[in-house]
Structure 1
Amino acid sequence: MKKQEENKLKIKSVQKGQNYLGFLFIKSQMTKTATNGSRYFNMVLNDADFDEIDGKKWDVKPEEEEIFTNGKLVKIKGKVQEFNNRLQLIVEKMRLVDESDEVSINDFIETVPVDIDEMLGYINDTIDDFTNADIAAITSKIFSDQTEILSYFPAAKKHHHAIKGGLLYHIYSMLRIGKSLAGIYPLINRDLLYAGIILHDIGKINEMVSDENGSVSDYTPEGKLLGHITQEIVELELVGQSLGADPEVLMMLKHMILSHHYQPEFGSPKRPMFPEAELLHHIDMIDARMYTMEQALNRVEPGSFTEANWSLDGISLYRRSFL
């Protein structure tokens, strides 16, 4: 099969029983042990259109576990099968791409639609406009320490904004929403709301392990044991104390981080107890759900439904056919 034909095999068009030969990006990979003691890969693979398919490779050798990790572009020969009403790709052969393949890994890495420097500038300009010196100092210190990592870090391993630069894009989008809503409600302290938006998920940098392509390979020990909310509250306390910040300011910022997931089962032991915290939660939900909906709808034809989406409470979305 010619190279140009291989590259035209799209995940969106594959069917059960079809043979597959082409290039795919390993978005995530977990090595597991089967009941017979053999090792196998459980993968999420995407093509150059960023459509995804679950992949499995059985009887994995020890050396393959070292080679085929998250963030690698591979050439795969396999067969499309169905499991639990979902298509999956059973990998028969797999190798890393080389120069002779004439494909670029950059074409397979989904990135944010806004320039990184533009987003960083927008957020830094927002911080510069803060009138509360303590909120400005705390937010500036924490955010500026992470700007290099934010240029590639995703907002999640699998769900919303799980792409290169996704965490920064999530913050940027939420700030835009926040600035629109803050003007409607005069009781809102804009410094407090905007700081909460900027800081609410920044603890994810210490929660996940990501390469510079935005592929998350695992959660850190602290991420597994503590989570990003707890880690960010600890960082807020340390930074606030070092800057001699107003204890009330520090307490309210910590409460916003603590409560932004809203429900105990989602990691928040307290619900929002003042307007800025309440608004932060809903802005977070708006941006996460709209992003997830857009991604899902882009993968189906107009006039059809998506698959049930776990991130959206199991609903199937309908894509309208008119403009």
Structure 2
Amino acid sequence: MDEKKLYDYNIDETFDLFLLIKSAIVRVAKNGKKFIAFTFQDKSGQMDGKYWDANEADIEKYQGGTVVKVSGKRELYQGNPQIRLFHMRLTNAGEPDKAEQFIEKAPIKKEDMMEEINETVFEITNANWNRIVRYLLNKYQKEYFQAPAAKRFHHAFYGGLAFHTVSMLRLAKSITAQYEEIDHSLLYAGVILHDLGKVMELTGPVSTEYTLEGNLVGHIVLVDEEITKACQALKINDKIEDVTLLKHMILAHHGKLDFGSPVVPKLREAEILYHIDHLDATINMLNNTLNRTEPGTFSERIFGLDNRSFYKPNTNRLSNEKEEESDTLF
């Protein structure tokens, strides 16, 4: 396989690469003809491209989760990178054809994330919250450490859910060390469970789509239901205050009704959870985008951040200035 990846190519540069079809959505153009809106992926990231005048054979052949050979050109459309497709075909015998070869993965090993989360569970000293968290982690252990945290915008990779959780736990521990009044047990339990519903809301890391439950119910309500089921299995009264507080953490973690939360935060720990979640997602989106932006230029637009572009400072210039400054101090 060509060592050069999709985002290694510059704007207007042509390429010939094996790529994974992350998603393939059939749409109808203004002329009445069908086209396929693709999202392609390799380990450098995702990029969209349109396949015009698609026939039924094309639609059947090019499905999400399929590896294809793509000839095209990287372009910029309305501030976002996209692929102009020249030619596309299925792989031949002996060519790369495993989806796992093209998906992004969490930068921390699964075993290390498991250990860090499990160690934090020991710090949840409230017995009811501890038992519920343990029960649900055991129930969904495989999916929890494989699932992405989103379809596209943040932590949208293999192990993204667990990595997002670990990042948030580290932020939470820094905050609880600074502010001793915070109930660390409630905050940690909320962090670990807040996005567990993603294992039911999304299909998985290879060809990530929303499930029927994900579209019609959503991950917030799905976790609320799972907490009730856990209480039934553990013989915990789900009407006691402990359970109500934990459920509120989940139900309020998007912070605002407009963002999908059924209720707004009305606990100190719920308000903190909302900000930690938003902060970690924001930093991940920024890092992903700026990592593939040339120093001294503006990034592509980030849809999840109000479609803004961000400037990446010319670090070489800054480091040179610091060296010159240090040379003239004495």
TM-score calculated relative to the size of structure 2: 0.87
Relative to 1, partners in 2 of residues 1:191 and 1:81: Cα closer, same or farther, differing over 3 Å?
Answer: closer
Q: 1:141 aligns with which of 135, 146, 149?
A: 135
Q: Which moved more, 1:276-285 or 1:97-106?
A: 97-106
- Say yes or no: does 1:270 pair with 2:266: no
- Say yes or no: does 1:29 pair with 2:20: no
- Give me the whole-angstrom Cα distance separating, in 1, the residues matched to 2:28 and 2:232: 47
1:143 is displaced (CA, Å) by: 1.2
Conserved 8 A contact 1:174-1:284: yes
1:102 is displaced (CA, Å) by: 5.8
Conserved 8 A contact 1:300-1:319: yes
Aligned residue for 1:101, secondary structure, equals coil
Q: Structure 1 unaligned runs (5+)? A: none
Q: 1:231 aligns with which of 222, 246, 252?
A: 222
* CA root-mean-square deviation: 2.3
- Say yes or no: does 1:88 pair with 2:79: no
Q: 1:242 aligns with which of 222, 233, 241?
A: 233
Match of 1:54 in 2: 48
- Give me the whole-angstrom Cα distance separating, in 2, the residues matched to 1:85 and 1:138: 45
- Give me the whole-angstrom Cα distance separating, in 1, the residues matched to 2:296 and 2:14: 29
- Give me the whole-angstrom Cα distance separating, in 1, the residues matched to 2:280 and 2:76: 33
1:191 is displaced (CA, Å) by: 1.2
- Give me the whole-angstrom Cα distance separating, in 2, the residues matched to 1:165 and 1:229: 19
Aligned residue for 1:261, secondary structure, equals coil
Q: Number of residues paired by the alignment?
A: 314
The one-letter amino acid of 1:43's match is F
Match of 1:304 in 2: 297
The one-letter amino acid of 2:291's match is N
- Say yes or no: does 1:168 pair with 2:168: no
Work out the percentage of aligned pairs sharing the same amino acid.
Answer: 36
TM-score calculated relative to the size of structure 1: 0.88
Match of 2:280 in 1: 287
Match of 2:323 in 1: none
- Say yes or no: does 1:119 pair with 2:113: yes
Conserved 8 A contact 2:128-2:242: yes
Q: 2:244 aligns with which of 247, 251, 269?
A: 251
- Give me the whole-angstrom Cα distance separating, in 1, the residues matched to 2:118 and 2:137: 9
Conserved 8 A contact 1:208-1:216: no
1:275 is displaced (CA, Å) by: 1.3
- Say yes or no: does 1:13 pair with 2:4: no
- Give me the whole-angstrom Cα distance separating, in 2, the residues matched to 1:9 and 1:298: 14
Deviation string 1:235-274 (CA, Å, 9 cap, x unpaired) is 1122123323351111001111111101111111322111
- Say yes or no: does 1:77 pair with 2:68: no
Deviation string 1:44-78 (CA, Å, 9 cap, x unpaired) is 22344x14332111232333333322232210124
Relative to 1, partners in 2 of residues 1:148 and 1:15: Cα closer, same or farther, differing over 3 Å?
Answer: same
- Give me the whole-angstrom Cα distance separating, in 1, the residues matched to 2:271 and 2:96: 51
- Give me the whole-angstrom Cα distance separating, in 1, the residues matched to 2:5 and 2:189: 45
Relative to 1, partners in 2 of residues 1:259 and 1:13: Cα closer, same or farther, differing over 3 Å?
Answer: same
The one-letter amino acid of 1:142's match is L
Conserved 8 A contact 2:197-2:219: yes
The one-letter amino acid of 2:216's match is L
- Give me the whole-angstrom Cα distance separating, in 1, the residues matched to 2:39 and 2:183: 42
The one-letter amino acid of 1:238's match is K
Q: 2:40 aligns with which of 38, 45, 52?
A: 45
Q: 2:102 aligns with which of 103, 108, 114?
A: 108
Aligned residue for 1:55, secondary structure, equals strand
- Give me the whole-angstrom Cα distance separating, in 2, the residues matched to 1:145 and 1:305: 44
Conserved 8 A contact 2:10-2:74: yes
Deviation string 1:118-160 (CA, Å, 9 cap, x unpaired) is 1111111221332211111101111111111123210000111
The one-letter amino acid of 2:149's match is A
- Give me the whole-angstrom Cα distance separating, in 1, the residues matched to 2:254 and 2:52: 38
